[in-house]
């Protein structure tokens, strides 16, 4: 059985996932480019290797690519949570099963979100940059204690983040149209969360309905001293609107881990009140290992 692994960092930090495949008679082909694949590169690899299984990363898997793999691939096992890169409607049409690994990223994404919040409030990385530039500025920060945290989406990651925030005595409010109660988060309307939160953090998937859920109209409703965090998916925030809001002091700052175009080279790099990270939400070694193992176990369960 051949498994094509398209996610770019698979097995790099720990060889246990590769050994698990070997021990179960799975022949694997690793992404030869070491980066996110283009559609044509994915199609070329499918045509070349004709795999029975695909362990996918964040690359786009279009109907064209699905059509090419249809004669060979029996299942796609997404190494990660987000499914927005896959044409799910077409996959369903051709009866191609798709799984993901929703549990592995929960803790690392929640912990990164907390880290970004603390960094922005206390201006940690900005003070570090000052020293490295030969200066010794002492930027005045703010406490996380007793802040109102607004969570857009109240699933696994938001729930774990709410647990991490408990020692800080924060008021935690959230919006999620798919649930009616939550034991850690006080559920509100979308507008109530946006207007009342000191920190707004996104924890929702990218869907056509969620595209630009944060735009200039929403940003104008936020508190002037509020922070916006997107440690979820690119395309949820209209980046041009965010730039305008920052230029005009509509909000106080932002922490962004994922972008519409990656690698990111846009104007957000020019703002000292913005913390940018390179889509590293799930990049904790322990979580990455679990994510990779879970993606293989999903295949083994089918076998």
- Single out the catalytic residue among 160, 279, 288, 292: 279
3-state secondary structure 73-115: CCEEEECCCCCCCECHHHHHHCCCCEECCCCCCHHHHHHHHHH
Q: Is 262 a catalytic residue?
A: yes
SS3 216: helix
The contacts of residue 63 (CB under 8 Å, 6+ apart) are: 87, 90
- Single out the catalytic residue among 19, 48, 169, 262: 262
Give the containing element (helix H, strand E) for 288: helix 285-302
Q: Per the structure block, which two tokens stand in for 26?
A: 């799975």
- Single out the catalytic residue among 233, 239, 288, 292: 233
Least Cα distance to 152 among 111, 119, 108, 189 occurs for 189
CB 109 within 8 A of CB 280: no
CB 246 within 8 A of CB 227: no
SS3 129: helix
The contacts of residue 75 (CB under 8 Å, 6+ apart) are: 53, 54, 96, 97, 98, 99, 298, 299, 302
What does residue 49 show for φ and ψ, rounded to 5 degrees? -105, -20
- Catalytic site residues? 233, 262, 279
């Amino acid at each position: 059985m051949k498994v094509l692994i398209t996610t770019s960092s698979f097995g790099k930090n720990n060889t246990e996932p590769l050994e698990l495949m070997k021990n179960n008679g799975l022949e694997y082909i690793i992404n030869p480019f070491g980066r996110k694949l283009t559609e044509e590169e994915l199609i070329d690899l499918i045509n070349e290797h004709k795999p029975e299984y695909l362990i996918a990363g964040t690359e786009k898997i279009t109907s064209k690519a699905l059509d090419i793999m249809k004669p060979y691939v029996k299942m796609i096992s997404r190494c990660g949570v987000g499914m927005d890169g896959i044409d799910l409607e077409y996959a369903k049409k051709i009866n191609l099963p798709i799984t993901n690994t929703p549990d592995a990223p929960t803790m690392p994404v929640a912990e990164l979100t907390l880290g970004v919040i603390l960094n922005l409030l206390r201006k940690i990385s900005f003070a570090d940059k000052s020293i490295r530039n030969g200066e010794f500025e002492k930027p005045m920060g703010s406490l996380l204690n007793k802040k109102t945290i607004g969570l857009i989406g109240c699933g696994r990651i938001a729930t774990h983040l709410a647990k991490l925030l408990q020692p800080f005595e924060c008021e935690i409010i959230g919006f999620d149209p798919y649930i009616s109660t939550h034991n850690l988060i006080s559920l509100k309307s979308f507008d109530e969360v946006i207007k009342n939160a000191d920190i707004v953090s996104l924890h929702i998937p990218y869907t056509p309905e969620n595209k630009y859920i944060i735009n200039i109209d929403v940003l104008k409703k936020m508190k002037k001293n509020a922070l916006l965090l997107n440690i979820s998916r690119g395309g949820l925030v209209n980046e041009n609107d965010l730039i305008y809001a920052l230029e005009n002091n509509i909000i106080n700052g932002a922490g962004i881990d994922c972008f519409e175009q990656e690698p990111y080279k846009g104007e957000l790099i020019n703002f000292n009140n913005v913390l940018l990270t390179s889509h590293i939400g799930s990049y904790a070694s322990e979580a990455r290992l679990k994510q990779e193992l879970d993606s293989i176990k999903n295949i083994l369960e089918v076998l």
